[in-house]
């Protein structure tokens, strides 16, 4: 059962501008430690695009949750993580996790599908949240 869907297009240049202007303050307020490690492992030329894809994923996820950035859903409560296969997904904590739990019908568990890509100067993300039956 589809619970929510969201997408976002982000200008990589805008993220680069925020990095230039606010630096570490922007990074720590907006991205999880895992996201920061992944971006900082990239070359400087790819760093802004890496952050921009994650920014777009957070925006798309907030839309899929149906709240935007309200009701306890913040950039810091959503993080892109990669499964062992390399497939990206979202990890929700705090208010975002609470909102997700509110959306799930009884007897179901969430599945969050995420796709992210970039074609400079843009980064794109789409999130689909589904409720899957809990196996008995």
- Which structure tokens are listed for 61? 């996820």
pLDDT over 70 (residue 130): yes
CA pair distance 55, 26, nearest whole angstrom: 11
Tell me: is residue 20 an annotated ligand-binding position: no
Eight-class DSSP state of 31? S
Homologous superfamily (CATH) for 2-133: 4'-phosphopantetheinyl transferase domain (3.90.470.20)
- Is 0.85 topped by the overall pTM? yes
Span 98-124, pLDDT tens digits: 999 999 999 999 999 999 999 999 999
Which value, to the nearest 10 degrees, does the dihedral of the CA atoms of residues 3, 75, 82, 133 take?
-20
In angstroms, the CA 115 to CA 34 distance is: 18
- For residue 83 the two structure tokens come to 């499964």
Domain ranges of the chain: 2-133
Q: Is 59 annotated as a binding residue?
A: yes
Is there a cis peptide before residue 121, judged by omega within 30 degrees of 0? Answer: yes
Rounded to 5 degrees, what are φ and ψ at 69?
-95, 75
Spell out the residues 6+ positions from residue 43 whose beta carbon is closer than 8 angstroms to its own: none
List pLDDT tens digits, range 1-25. 999 999 999 999 999 999 999 999 9
């Amino acid at each position: 059962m589809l619970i929510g869907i969201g997408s976002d297009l982000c200008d990589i240049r805008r993220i680069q501008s925020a990095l230039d202007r606010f630096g570490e303050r922007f990074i720590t307020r907006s991205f999880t430690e895992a996201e920061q490690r992944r971006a900082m492992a990239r070359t400087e030329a790819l760093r802004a695009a890496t952050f921009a894809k994650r920014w777009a994923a957070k925006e798309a996820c907030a839309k899929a949750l149906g709240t935007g950035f309200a009701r306890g859903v913040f950039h810091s409560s959503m993080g892109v993580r990669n499964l062992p296969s390399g497939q990206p997904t979202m990890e929700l904590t705090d208010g975002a996790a609470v909102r997700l739990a509110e959306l799930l019908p009884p007897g179901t568990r969430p599945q969050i599908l995420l796709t992210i890509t970039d074609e400079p100067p843009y980064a794109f993300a789409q999130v689909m949240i589904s409720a899957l039956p809990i196996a008995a």
